[in-house]
Every structure is written in C-alpha cells, then in structure tokens.
C-alpha cells in the first residue's frame, strides 16, 4: 500500500480503513494506559535510578500495543525484532532479503491461525473484510498489509518517543512548563515534538508521472522526488521561529506539520501514534518528575526513512 498508486492504493486503503477504525483505536486507550503504567512501575524499581528509555518503555510499549491491535499477543518478539531491524535499517541487501524470507512465512502462519480462529481484532477483520462490491484482500495482500502495519509504526513510534524526550531535556523551560500543566499542555507538546524533530525524516521516494512545478522548481516527468518531512517542519515560510521548541505553538495558530505525511498516503496510524504519545508523556512525567538525561546517548541508527537514537539513557 505504501508504495502503490491509485486505483490499487485506493482499494487497499479502503479495505484496511474499514478494519482500522477510530473506534478500534479509541478502545485501545485503557490497554495502552495499563501497559504504560506497568512498564513505568518496572522501570522505577531500578535501584540505581537509571534506565534506557528505549528498552524500558518505548520498544516494549510499541510492540505490545501493535500486537494487541492486530490480535497476535504470542508474536515471537525477539525474532520479529531482528527481522524488523534488518528490514527497516538493513545492514546489507542479502541480510534484508533473508529477514524478509523468514518474516513472511512466519506471518503467513499467524494469518492461517487467525483464519481458523477469528477474534475481535484487526487481523481477523482484515481477513474477513469484504467491501460493497464483494472485494477482499488476497493472501499476498494480507501478508503484505500485516508486515506493513507491524513495521510502519514500529521504528517511527519508538523514534517519536525518544526524540520527544530528548527535545524536553534540551529545553528545560518547556519541560517545566509541561510538568506544570500536563493535562492542559500534553496535546500541544506532542504536536510540537512531531514538528520539531520529525520521527520519519523522509517519505518514501516518489517518481513524477508528469512534469510538475513545486515551490517554483520544475520537476520533469520521471524524476525521483525525495520529500524531506523533517525540513518541512522547520520551514521559516510556514512557522514562526521554526528552530524554537514551543509546546504552546499549536495554541497560537501555528498549526500543521508534515510528520505524518500528506495526501493519499497520510499515515494510517496517526491517531494511534498521537494517543500513545499523549498517554506516555502524561504518565512518565507525572510519575517521574525528576526525570533527566543520564550522560551521553548510546549511538545512532540510520534507517531507510529515519535516523535516531539506539538508546536514551535516563536517571531520576
Ligand atoms: C509517530 C509515529 C508515526 C509517524 C511519525 C508516522 C509517519 C508516517 C508517514 C510520514 C507516512 C507517509 C509516508 C508517505 O508519504 O508515503 C506514514 C504512512 C503510514 N503509516 Fe505511519 N507513522 C507513525 C506511526 C504509525 C503507526 C502506529 C502505524 C500503524 C499501526 C502506522 C501505519 C502507517 C501506514 C499503514 C502507512 C501507509 C499509509 C498509506 O500508504 O496509505 N504509522 N506514516
């Protein structure tokens, strides 16, 4: 779906949107809250009052939520993490192919099990969704969609939580402001984090099917266009003082960013990512008011569409 054009894209998006509904996302809120509470409790039990936020919170939360949504709580997370890292940030073409070759039959098995025993979850719905014209996803499309849903929101959400925390640490005044009115400011803070440091820096490469003018530049037919979403968030023609991290910005009319893309491929998971962000930051900051950075970062990764921290060491 991510790489297809209309009418193929329209068809797939319509089918998945029938299953990935706002009601399904909203119903996940209590579960996301419970998982976040449990992870923060476990993290705060560390006697040395130190943790890596990626391992302690961002990664397990992300995996638990997506598995719950899809209805595959028994996913082999260690194996999947290896495949997923290799597919989204390949160490080499051969290794990436090998990861896909293992992930696809594994997911095929999960889909077969779900087909045999359907439940109230997204994967069951995707298997059984039929539109007005009697259309449904083929087996290959189902596999590809399950892999996309597992991967699309994986690196991006982990990166979002890590970049958001880093932005707060780098701006103590905004950090203090947010803590002073978590309920009132968390929504704006999440939007500002997405604008200030886009978790997905570039959209997948696009090819111009006809000549087009963009921002006064001529793009000939056939040219490859790489849209840098992160730069769009720092555009001085769009945002006042774009380099300033200001969690009240959305309240001042400076709305809108491209962190979730734009147009037909606009992120399907945006409502879920926003919900996770609001719950995580509200919970983490209210339960851990002295949270701060613990020394240097633990190295960076460079993926297909994003770069980010492998570790975010914190103390409290
Ligand atoms: C903060 C977290 C996230 C960010 C920043 C993000 C960002 C994006 C962006 C920029 C695109 C559009 C790429 C393009 O122009 O082609 C996209 C597409 C997509 N995202 Fe997300 N995403 C996030 C979380 C999620 C989650 C949690 C899910 C699912 C559970 C998800 C599922 C998808 C899917 C399926 C698409 C493809 C949509 C299509 O091609 O029609 N994303 N995302």
Mean pLDDT (whole number) for 62-75: 87
Write the class of the CATH domain 8-315.
Answer: mainly alpha
| Ligand 1 binding pocket mutation candidate from 22, 125, 230, 269 (most atoms within 8 A of CB) | 269
Torsion angle defined by CA atoms of residues 103, 105, 108 and 110, in that order, rounded to the nearest 10 degrees:
-70
> Ligand 1 centroid vs 315 CA: distance in angstroms?
31
* Residue 275: C-alpha distances to residues 33, 71, 130, 248, 287 (Å): 10, 19, 28, 18, 18
Q: Is the CB of 260 under 6 A from ligand 1?
A: yes
Closest CA to 199 of 158, 171, 240, 167: 158
Residues in a beta bridge with 56: none
Task: Identify the pLDDT of residue 160.
Answer: 94
Q: Look at residue 153 and tell me whether its pLDDT is greater than 90.
A: no
Q: Is the CB of 66 under 6 A from ligand 1?
A: yes
Beta strand residue intervals within 22-67, DSSP E: 50-52
| Residue ranges per structural domain of the chain | 8-315
Q: What is the DSSP letter of 160?
A: H
Atom of ligand 1 nearest to the CA of 229: 10
Q: Is the CB of 261 under 6 A from ligand 1?
A: yes
Task: Show the tokens assigned to 175.
Answer: 């950090």
Task: Show the tokens assigned to 190.
Answer: 């999440």
* Alpha-carbon gap, residue 164 to 316, rounded angstroms: 17
Q: Quick: pLDDT tens for 276-310.
A: 999 999 999 999 999 999 987 667 777 777 777 77
* pLDDT band with cut points at 50, 70 and 90 for residue 251: low
Question: At 100, is the secondary structure helix, strand, or coil?
Answer: helix
Q: Quick: pLDDT tens for 73-101.
A: 778 888 888 888 888 778 888 998 998 89
Atom of ligand 1 nearest to the CA of 160: 1
């Amino acid at each position: 779906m991510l790489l297809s054009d209309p009418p193929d894209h329209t068809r797939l998006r319509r089918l998945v949107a029938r299953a990935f509904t706002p009601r399904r996302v909203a119903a996940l809120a209590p579960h996301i809250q419970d998982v976040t509470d449990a992870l923060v409790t476990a993290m705060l039990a560390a006697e040395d009052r130190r943790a890596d936020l990626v391992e302690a919170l961002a990664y397990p939360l992300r995996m638990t939520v997506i598995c719950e949504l899809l209805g595959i709580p028994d996913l082999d997370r260690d194996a999947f993490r290896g495949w997923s890292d290799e597919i989204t940030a390949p160490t080499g073409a051969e290794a990436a192919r090998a990861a896909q070759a293992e992930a696809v039959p594994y997911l095929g098995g999960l889909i077969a099990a779900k087909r045999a025993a359907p439940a109230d979850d997204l994967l069951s719905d995707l298997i059984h969704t039929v539109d007005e014209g009697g259309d449904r996803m083929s087996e290959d499309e189902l596999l590809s969609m399950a892999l996309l849903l597992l991967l699309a929101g994986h690196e991006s959400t982990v990166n979002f939580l890590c970049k958001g925390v880093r932005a707060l640490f780098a701006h103590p005044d905004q950090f203090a402001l947010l803590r002073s009115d978590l309920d009132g400011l968390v929504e704006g803070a999440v939007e500002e984090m997405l604008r200030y440091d886009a978790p997905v820096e570039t959209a997948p490469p696009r090819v111009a099917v006809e000549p087009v003018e963009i921002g006064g530049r001529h793009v000939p037919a056939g040219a490859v266009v790489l849209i840098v979403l992160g730069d769009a968030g720092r555009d001085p023609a769009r945002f006042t003082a774009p380099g300033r991290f200001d969690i009240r910005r959305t309240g001042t009319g400076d709305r809108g960013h491209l962190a979730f893309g734009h147009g037909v491929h606009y992120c399907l998971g945006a409502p879920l990512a926003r919900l996770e962000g609001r719950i995580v930051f509200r919970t983490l900051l209210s339960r851990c008011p002295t949270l701060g950075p613990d020394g240097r970062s633990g190295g960076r990764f460079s993926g297909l569409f994003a770069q980010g921290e492998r570790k975010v060491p914190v103390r409290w």
